[in-house]
Every structure is written in structure tokens, then in C-alpha cells.
């Protein structure tokens, strides 16, 4: 049973009192929470069936009922419009391809990130323009936080008990943003992944850090792609898959970078160029790491000359995010493996 | 703020005597009469913790059962605790379950250690705890029942039943109830909790897997240094575990206010006291050889075990001697040897 079910907050309980209790009960993330009074939870549910099970989440095989999601959403500061987005994200997390059991319990420092696509971003006030990865917009801040609280309070990924992350990372507090779709020369990511561009949707992904990519000098797309590719060669992101950054790297391109690239490259061509260029020669690896990698190859398989960032071009995920400037961001996935998952949002 | 179904077994019993006999028969008692843990009393005790009933406070060996707010509250009621003692007990249980405390060994050993609960801070006054005359002894409900509740949790949740789980050869009266309060007002040094990094206005509990206190009677010395020599002498009987387990745990010195005042007046800080005791509380190889627990545990490399005059400390460093002030008027202090393979643990008391 989740301790969430035992919450019986009433209007008479003071803000400080509720916050102390939530934190001491291990239901908080350390930041102040909104007291989940019955009125707030009812408003969050907006008439939906609180007992409806959206998904069952590892590691504790916790049933993500709408009531539990609503409680986390209230605690995080969400508005009622955010609940369907949160529910879609939870559904996506439960897809076996995402490997939530691994992501949520690893000693790795990975966080779960959330991209809100299409009409969902507008409805839910999720910013995809300037400072989209930073603070300011309520949707970004509270939806990402609610998802973090779901991992802790519903999935049962409790730091130190089941979430064994050696260092953690700030993105585990909150990590949610939208695409800057009007500024994308290639349309939206969810459309590239098979949904209608007019469909409200979310994508969840594992994020083992964020790396800024600065290139204000290149005057063509090939140059920007070279800078991006060379920025993705972190030896420490090499995992059991034999690929860098979990094999499904996410590149968040600033609109100006994307515009330069799009003069000469389609989305598919940009993905192929990145995959071709982003190769870490094996001789650059520490000897023991190299030996470990080679020992893990299937019997008879030829030794590769370099480690790649993905197995195929379409696994290089590109999204256009941000405002003015030539600063992009590389997000390596969890080195243990797992894939980004996209799901539609049902606002009805 | 939390509304939960309780999971404890429900019994329907005739009267007070039936309660006592049933609890004794089921092995749920320390042998003394208990307060019947009715649902109403247990619920009130849970509410006083400000925590959900199902919250796990730790895993208690040797049964490796979860201590929950609910089952700790049941034992608190049985021990006779007032509801406002509950936050102290919660912190004490959490502290005892810290891996550094090594509760499995502490519970199961043949050694007679109990679990001493030292309460420090403003909560001492709030609960009416006795930090003065007879702090180790009977007469005050908070000391008596918090210590007893701790023991009942160790027995009823952890399964440390004499002869099963608790293999103590002889045990000790300190295993009935063992709880004192630090006497802030009479301490010439900042309280222990402040030395450990807590704020003066915070309250803490420290758990120590200690033997019953060994008395340090010094009515004669007029200098702090000489009082400390008497303390050091009391610390160096060879028959306690700390004479052989060096660098694997800490020991505790509880100074009476008059001893402490004399020692401080002669210029000793708490660190000086620890340093002095570390250097003077030493056994000699000639007294230890082939006695007590000779060579049952690793000795530090720098001790020449072939040299009859070589000195053996009882801890590995001055910091492993806890020094605090408790008690009333008079010329007595106490030394508390420990299980030896255990470290005291301090936790903040969080009131709802």
C-alpha cells in the first residue's frame, strides 16, 4: 500500500503542519508541497474515476490510480489540466521498452525526463521556447515534479531504499519541457515518431545529465553537426549496450542551430550525419574499459574500431527547443539501456 | 493527518488479569504488568508521532521484523508511555536500527549490554524527564517508560527473547529500562548534541549499547586531573569488552555535575577530558595476557604484545569516548562500557 492512500488532510490542517507531516512520512521531495485537501484532489480529478488504474509501475509494482496521480499532482503544485498529461506520461513509463525498473533503481545518476508535444504543451502551459529547460513556466516546473513524486510515492523508487542512485541529479526534482514547434524546420518529434502533429502527446526518456553545446562560429549546418557529434563522445557514458549514452541519445537543438542544419539536411539526413560522425575510437578508452567492452562482444563478432551513439539513425532523437542563441543541449540516455516512449494525451 | 487501518492482531480479553496472563503467555512482556494496548490508546499514540501508522522506522534483528509506527506505539502504550513521549521513542528506534549500531550483534550476544537511551535538549524539560538526582534510577515516568518501551520493541518486534534471539548469559537490570537525560544546566561544556553538530534548540536521542553503569566514586580529590585518574581507573578493568575490542566502538562517561564542575574549573575542555582518558585509561599487557578476551580481537599494530609493560587503550581514539553530564548533587560519576563492536548513534527528535 502506498502511504499516499493514508493521507487524510483536512482544511483545518495548517500549511506548515501538512508540510512537516508529508516530509516526515517520506512522501515529499524536500521542497514545500501544496496540502492535498479533499477539495483540491476532487478538483484535480475533475470528475474522472479515482479508482481507474492507468498503469502498474515498477519497482514496487504500484498501481497508478488516478487518485494517487491526482495526489502527487496536487502535492507538486499542478493545475487540473495537468492530470491527463501526467497520466499519459505514467502510461508511457509503464511500457516495458522504457525499462523503468532499471532506470528507477540503478546506481546510475539518471532521471526521467518528459517532453510535452503539440496541443498538450499549449493546454498545459509548458514552455518550449527560451529557458525551456529552466524555471519559470508552471507546467514545466510542476509536471516534472509530479512525475518525480509518482516515481517515489507510487512506483516505490525511494532514495536509499530502492532508488540506489550513487549521486542522483537535479533533474530528478523536475525535468519537463515542450518543443518549440513553430521554430522547428522538421516538424515535431512526436510526428516523426508516428503520431499526427495535431495530436497532444508526451515522450518520456531517461536523462543521464545535460551537456551544453555551444557553436556560435559555424556558418553552415555541417559545422554545427560536427560540433554536436563531437560533443556526444563521453567515454563515461559507455554502457552495457556497447553504445554511448544508452544508444538513444537526445539532442535538443536551439532554433538557430536547427535552421542552419535544415538548409542542407532533412531530419533523417541530420540523424545519419550525427551517427556517422559521433564515433569514439576504442584506443581512446581506458585499457580496462576497452578490454571489458571487447570481452562483451558475441563470440566471433569482429572488434569495432569505435563506439557509436546508436545502432541506427532513427535512434538519434532530435527536438527543437529554446529561444534566441546558438546553444543546444545533449542529453545522454541511461547507459543501462531503455528506450524513449511516446504516448498520446487524452484531455477528455 | 493520516487515516489508516491498523494491522495489529485484535484480542478480546476479559479483564486486567486476563490481559496480563495472556501477554505473559504469548511472550509479549518483560514480566512486569503492562498497560493494555487498546485500539483507542494505540491510535492516540500513533497520532502523537505525527507519522502514518504504516511508516517503517527500521528493521529490527534478530527477527528482522519491521518496526512500524503502529507496532512501536503498541509497545509504548504497554510500557506506560505518555503520548508526548512517542517522538523520542521513534527517534530512538530509528537510531538503534542504524547499521553503525550493529543491532543484530547487540541483540543476540551473550554479553549483558542493554540499549541506553540518552535524551538531550529542550524536550527533556517538556517531558518532565529526570536529568538530576538518580537519573539512571526509578521515580520518573518519562525515563522509566521510554527505556522500557525501547526494550519491549527490541523484544516484541525484534524477537530478542531471553534464550531465543537474546543469548545473554546473565543479562542485566539495565535491560528492563535504561534511559537518562543530559543535564544541560549543570554541564560546564556545550551539551553533547551541540558537539555532535546539532543546534542547542534541537532535541536528540543517542543510543548506546552499554552495560549497566560502573560507579566512579571520588569524594576526596580536589583537582580535576585526579578525578579523571579515578575515572580512568574505573575504565580499565579488564573484564569488559572494551578492553579487547579497540577501535571498533565507543564507550561512555557520564560525569556527575560536581565532578564535571571541578574538572572544567581546572581548565579541561571536553576534548581535553577525552584526550586525558584516552591516554590514561590503559591496561597493561602483563595484566591482560591470557585473560579476559586476550587476542580474541585484533589489537592495533602499534601495541607490542610481547612487551609486558606495553599499554593497551580501551578505544582507538579520544573521539570514541562519549562524555556527558547527568545527575544531581554528590561525588559520583559513571563509566558505561559497551558491547565493543558498536557505535553510538544520535538522531534528532522531530515533534509533529
- Mean pLDDT across the stretch A204-218? 97
**Is the pLDDT higher at B299 or at B80?**
B80
pLDDT at B313: 96
- Asked if B185 and B276 sit in the same domain, the reply is no
Q: Tell me: the pLDDT tens digits for B308-334? A: 999 999 999 999 999 999 999 999 999
- Asked if A190 and A277 sit in the same domain, the reply is no
Check if A26 contacts B (Cβ < 8 Å).
yes
- Asked if B129 and B274 sit in the same domain, the reply is no
CB A150 within 8 A of CB A4: no
**Residue B151 belongs to what H/E stretch?**
helix B141-156
Check if B2 contacts A (Cβ < 8 Å).
yes
Cell for B64? 528482522
Check if A25 contacts B (Cβ < 8 Å).
yes
- Asked if A290 and A344 sit in the same domain, the reply is no
- Mean pLDDT across the stretch A125-143? 96
Dist. CA B147–CA B117, nearest whole Å: 7
How many residues comprise chain B?
Answer: 352
pLDDT at B286: 95
- Asked if A77 and A43 sit in the same domain, the reply is yes
- Asked if A282 and A313 sit in the same domain, the reply is yes
How many residues comprise chain A?
Answer: 348
Domain tally for chain A? 2
Burial, B16: exposed, middle or buried (Cβ in 10 Å; 0-12, 13-18, 19+)?
exposed
- Mean pLDDT across the stretch B263-286? 97
Domain tally for chain B? 2
pLDDT at A83: 98
For residue A324, count other CB atoms closer than 10 A to its CB.
Answer: 10
- Residues A6, B352: C-beta atoms closer than 8 Å: no
Residues 53-82 of B with CB under 8 A from A: 53-55
Burial, A302: exposed, middle or buried (Cβ in 10 Å; 0-12, 13-18, 19+)?
exposed
Dist. CA B13–CA B321, nearest whole Å: 49
Q: Tell me: the pLDDT tens digits for A118-132? A: 999 999 999 999 999
| Res. A3: pLDDT tops 90 | no
Q: How confident is the model at residue A231 (pLDDT cuts 50, 70, 90)?
A: very high
pLDDT at A275: 97
Query: What percentage of chain A reaches a pLDDT higher than 70?
Result: 100
For residue B230, count other CB atoms closer than 10 A to its CB.
Answer: 18
| Res. A1: pLDDT tops 80 | no
Dist. CA B311–CA B309, nearest whole Å: 6
CA distances from A277 to A100, A232, A280 (A): 30, 10, 9
Phi first, then psi, for residue B174 (nearest 5°) are -65, -10
- Residues B50, A3: C-beta atoms closer than 8 Å: no
Cell for B127? 517531558
Check if B7 contacts A (Cβ < 8 Å).
no
Q: Tell me: the pLDDT tens digits for B130-176? A: 999 999 999 999 999 999 999 999 999 999 999 999 999 999 999 99
Distance (Å) from the C-alpha of residue A312 to the closest C-alpha of chain B? 47
CB A52 within 8 A of CB A42: no
Q: What share of chain B is helix, strand, coil (3-state, %, to 5)?
A: 35, 15, 45
pLDDT at B276: 98
- Asked if B81 and B137 sit in the same domain, the reply is yes
- Asked if B120 and B202 sit in the same domain, the reply is yes
Closest chain B residue by Cα to residue A20: B352
Domain residue limits at B111: 1-211+342-352
Dist. CA B231–CA B171, nearest whole Å: 24
In this prediction the pTM is 0.85
- Asked if B122 and B162 sit in the same domain, the reply is yes
**Residue of A1, A13, A24 lying closest to B350 (CB–CB):** A24
Distance (Å) from the C-alpha of residue A11 to the closest C-alpha of chain B? 11
**Residue A329 belongs to what H/E stretch?**
strand A327-331
Dist. CA B340–CA B208, nearest whole Å: 10
**Residue of A1, A13, A26 lying closest to B1 (CB–CB):** A13
- Residues A25, B51: C-beta atoms closer than 8 Å: yes
- Asked if A179 and A275 sit in the same domain, the reply is no
Q: Are strands A250-253 and A327-331 parallel, antiparallel or unpaired?
A: antiparallel
Cell for B206? 543517542
Distance (Å) from the C-alpha of residue B210 to the closest C-alpha of chain A? 29
- Asked if B168 and B243 sit in the same domain, the reply is no
- Asked if A193 and A72 sit in the same domain, the reply is yes
| Res. B207: pLDDT tops 80 | yes
- Asked if A204 and A251 sit in the same domain, the reply is no
Dist. CA A114–CA A204, nearest whole Å: 5
Closest chain A residue by Cα to residue B91: A24
- Asked if A198 and A313 sit in the same domain, the reply is no
Cell for A71? 495526489
Q: Is B31 left (phi over 0), alpha (psi -120 to 50) or beta?
A: left
Residue-wise burial string across B51-78, b where 16 or more C-beta atoms lie within 10 A, e elsewhere: bbbbbebbebbbbeebbbbbbbbbbbbb
| Res. A80: pLDDT tops 80 | yes
pLDDT at A322: 98
Cell for B323? 562524555
Burial, B300: exposed, middle or buried (Cβ in 10 Å; 0-12, 13-18, 19+)?
exposed
Nearest CA-CA partner of B74 in B103, B114, B44: B44
In chain B, which residues have their Cβ closer than 8 Å to the Cβ of A25? 2, 51-52, 55
Distance (Å) from the C-alpha of residue A18 to the closest C-alpha of chain B? 8
Domain residue limits at A204: 1-208+338-348
ipTM: 0.73
In chain B, which residues have their Cβ closer than 8 Å to the Cβ of A26? 55
Q: Tell me: the pLDDT tens digits for B4-21? A: 899 999 999 999 999 999
Cell for A174? 523536475
CB B158 within 8 A of CB B103: yes
- Asked if B12 and B133 sit in the same domain, the reply is yes
- Asked if B205 and B235 sit in the same domain, the reply is no
- Average pLDDT of chain A, as a whole number: 96
Helices and strands: H and E segment counts in chain A: 12, 12
Dist. CA B352–CA B83, nearest whole Å: 12
- Asked if B236 and B258 sit in the same domain, the reply is yes
Closest chain B residue by Cα to residue A12: B1
- Asked if B187 and B311 sit in the same domain, the reply is no
Q: Tell me: the pLDDT tens digits for B222-274? A: 999 999 999 999 999 999 999 999 999 999 999 999 999 999 999 999 999 99
- Asked if A237 and A250 sit in the same domain, the reply is yes
- Asked if B283 and B352 sit in the same domain, the reply is no
- Asked if A54 and A196 sit in the same domain, the reply is yes
| Res. A98: pLDDT tops 80 | yes
Dist. CA B35–CA B75, nearest whole Å: 9
In chain A, which residues have their Cβ closer than 8 Å to the Cβ of B53? 6
- Residues A9, B54: C-beta atoms closer than 8 Å: no
Q: Tell me: the pLDDT tens digits for A19-52? A: 999 999 999 999 999 999 999 999 999 999 999 9
Nearest CA-CA partner of B52 in A100, A172, A323, A24: A24
pLDDT at B45: 98
Closest chain A residue by Cα to residue B5: A6
Distance (Å) from the C-alpha of residue A147 to the closest C-alpha of chain B? 22
Residue with cell 503467555: B25
CB B160 within 8 A of CB B100: no
CA distances from B333 to B118, B136, B218, B255 (A): 15, 11, 8, 5
- Asked if A268 and A318 sit in the same domain, the reply is yes
**Residue of A6, A9, A26 lying closest to B4 (CB–CB):** A6
- Asked if A122 and A267 sit in the same domain, the reply is no
- Asked if B33 and B148 sit in the same domain, the reply is yes
CA distances from B55 to A25, A89, B278 (A): 7, 28, 41
Dist. CA A132–CA B344, nearest whole Å: 48
Peptide bond into B210 cis (omega under 30): no
Amino acid at each position: 500500500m502506498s502511504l499516499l492512500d493514508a493521507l487524510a488532510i483536512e482544511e483545518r490542517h495548517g500549511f506548515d503542519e501538512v508540510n512537516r507531516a508529508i516530509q516526515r512520512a517520506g512522501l515529499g521531495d524536500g521542497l514545500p508541497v501544496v496540502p492535498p485537501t479533499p477539495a483540491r484532489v476532487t478538483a484535480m480529478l475533475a470528475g474522472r474515476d479515482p479508482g481507474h488504474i492507468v498503469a502498474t509501475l515498477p519497482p514496487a509494482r504500484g498501481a497508478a490510480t488516478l487518485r494517487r496521480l491526482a495526489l502527487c499532482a496536487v502535492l507538486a503544485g499542478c493545475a487540473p489540466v495537468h492530470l491527463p498529461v501526467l497520466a499519459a506520461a505514467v502510461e508511457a513509463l509503464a511500457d516495458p521498452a522504457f525499462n523503468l525498473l532499471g532506470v528507477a533503481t540503478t546506481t546510475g545518476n539518471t532521471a526521467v525526463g518528459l517532453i510535452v508535444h503539440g496541443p498538450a504543451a499549449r493546454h498545459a502551459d509548458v514552455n518550449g521556447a527560451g529557458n525551456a529547460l529552466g524555471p519559470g513556466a508552471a507546467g514545466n516546473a510542476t509536471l516534472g515534479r509530479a512525475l518525480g513524486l509518482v516515481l517515489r510515492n507510487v512506483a516505490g523508487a525511494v532514495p536509499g531504499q530502492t532508488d540506489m542512485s550513487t549521486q542522483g541529479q537535479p533533474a530528478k526534482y523536475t525535468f519537463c519541457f515542450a518543443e518549440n514547434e513553430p521554430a522547428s524546420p522538421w516538424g515535431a518529434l512526436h510526428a516523426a515518431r508516428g503520431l499526427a502533429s495535431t495530436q497532444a502527446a508526451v515522450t518520456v526518456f531517461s536523462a543521464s545529465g545535460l551537456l551544453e553545446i555551444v557553436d556560435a562560429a559555424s556558418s553552415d549546418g555541417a559545422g554545427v553537426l560536427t560540433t554536436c557529434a563531437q560533443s556526444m563522445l563521453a567515454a563515461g557514458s559507455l554502457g552495457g549496450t556497447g553504445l554511448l549514452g544508452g544508444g538513444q541519445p537526445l539532442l535538443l537543438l536551439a532554433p538557430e542551430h536547427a535552421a542552419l542544419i535544415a538548409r542542407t539536411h532533412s531530419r533523417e539526413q541530420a540523424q545519419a550525419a550525427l551517427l556517422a560522425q559521433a564515433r569514439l575510437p576504442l584506443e581512446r578508452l581506458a585499457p580496462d574499459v576497452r578490454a571489458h567492452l571487447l570481452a562483451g562482444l558475441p563470440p566471433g563478432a569482429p572488434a569495432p574500431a569505435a563506439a557509436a551513439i546508436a545502432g541506427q539513425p532513427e535512434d538519434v532523437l532530435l527536438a527543437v527547443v529554446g529561444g534566441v542563441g546558438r546553444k543546444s543541449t545533449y542529453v545522454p540516455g541511461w547507459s543501462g539501456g531503455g528506450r524513449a516512449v511516446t504516448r498520446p494525451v487524452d484531455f477528455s | 493527518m493520516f487515516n489508516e487501518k491498523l494491522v495489529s492482531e485484535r484480542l478480546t480479553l476479559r479483564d486486567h488479569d486476563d490481559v496480563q496472563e495472556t501477554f505473559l503467555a504469548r511472550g509479549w512482556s518483560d514480566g512486569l504488568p503492562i498497560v493494555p494496548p487498546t485500539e483507542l490508546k494505540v491510535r492516540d499514540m500513533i497520532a502523537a508521532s505525527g507519522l502514518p501508522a504504516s511508516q517503517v522506522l527500521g528493521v529490527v534483528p534478530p527477527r528482522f521484523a519491521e518496526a512500524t509506527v503502529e507496532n512501536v506505539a503498541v509497545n509504548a502504550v504497554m510500557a506506560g508511555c505518555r503520548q508526548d513521549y512517542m517522538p523520542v521513542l521513534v527517534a530512538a528506534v530509528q537510531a538503534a536500527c542504524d547499521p553503525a549500531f550493529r543491532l543484530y550483534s547487540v541483540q543476540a550476544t551473550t554479553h549483558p549490554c542493554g540499549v541506553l537511551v540518552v535524551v538531550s535538549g529542550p524536550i527533556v524539560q517538556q517531558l518532565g524527564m529526570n536529568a538530576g538526582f538518580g537519573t539512571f534510577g526509578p521515580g520518573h515516568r518519562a525515563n522509566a517508560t521510554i527505556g522500557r518501551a525501547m526494550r519491549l520493541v527490541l523484544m516484541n518486534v525484534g524477537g530478542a527473547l531471553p534464550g531465543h534471539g537474546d543469548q545473554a548469559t546473565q543479562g542485566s537490570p539495565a535491560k528492563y529500562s535504561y534511559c537518562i537525560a543530559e543535564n544541560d544546566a549543570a554541564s560546564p561544556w556545550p551539551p553533547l548534541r551541540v558537539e555532535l553538530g546539532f543546534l542547542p534548540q534541537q532535541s536528540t536521542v543517542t543510543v548506546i549499547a552499554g552495560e549497566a553503569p560502573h560507579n566512579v566514586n571520588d569524594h576526596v580529590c580536589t583537582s580535576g586531573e585526579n578525578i579523571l585518574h579515578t575515572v580512568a581507573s574505573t575504565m580499565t578493568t579488564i573484564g569488559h569488552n572494551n578492553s579487547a575490542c579497540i577501535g571498533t566502538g565507543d564507550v561512555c562517561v557520564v560525569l556527575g555535575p560536581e565532578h564535571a564542575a571541578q574538572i572544567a574549573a581546572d581548565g579541561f575542555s571536553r576534548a581535553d577530558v577525552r584526550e586525558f582518558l584516552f591516554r590514561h585509561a590503559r591496561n597493561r599487557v602483563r595484566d591482560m595476557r591470557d585473560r579476559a578476551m586476550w587476542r580474541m580481537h585484533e589489537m592495533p599494530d602499534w601495541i607490542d604484545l610481547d612487551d609486558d609493560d606495553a599499554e593497551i587503550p580501551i578505544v582507538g581514539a579520544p573521539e570514541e569516548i562519549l562524555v556527558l553530564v547527568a545527575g544531581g548533587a554528590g561525588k559520583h560519576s559513571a563509566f558505561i562500557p559497551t558491547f565493543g563492536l558498536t557505535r553510538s548513534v544520535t538522531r534528532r527528535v522531530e515533534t509533529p
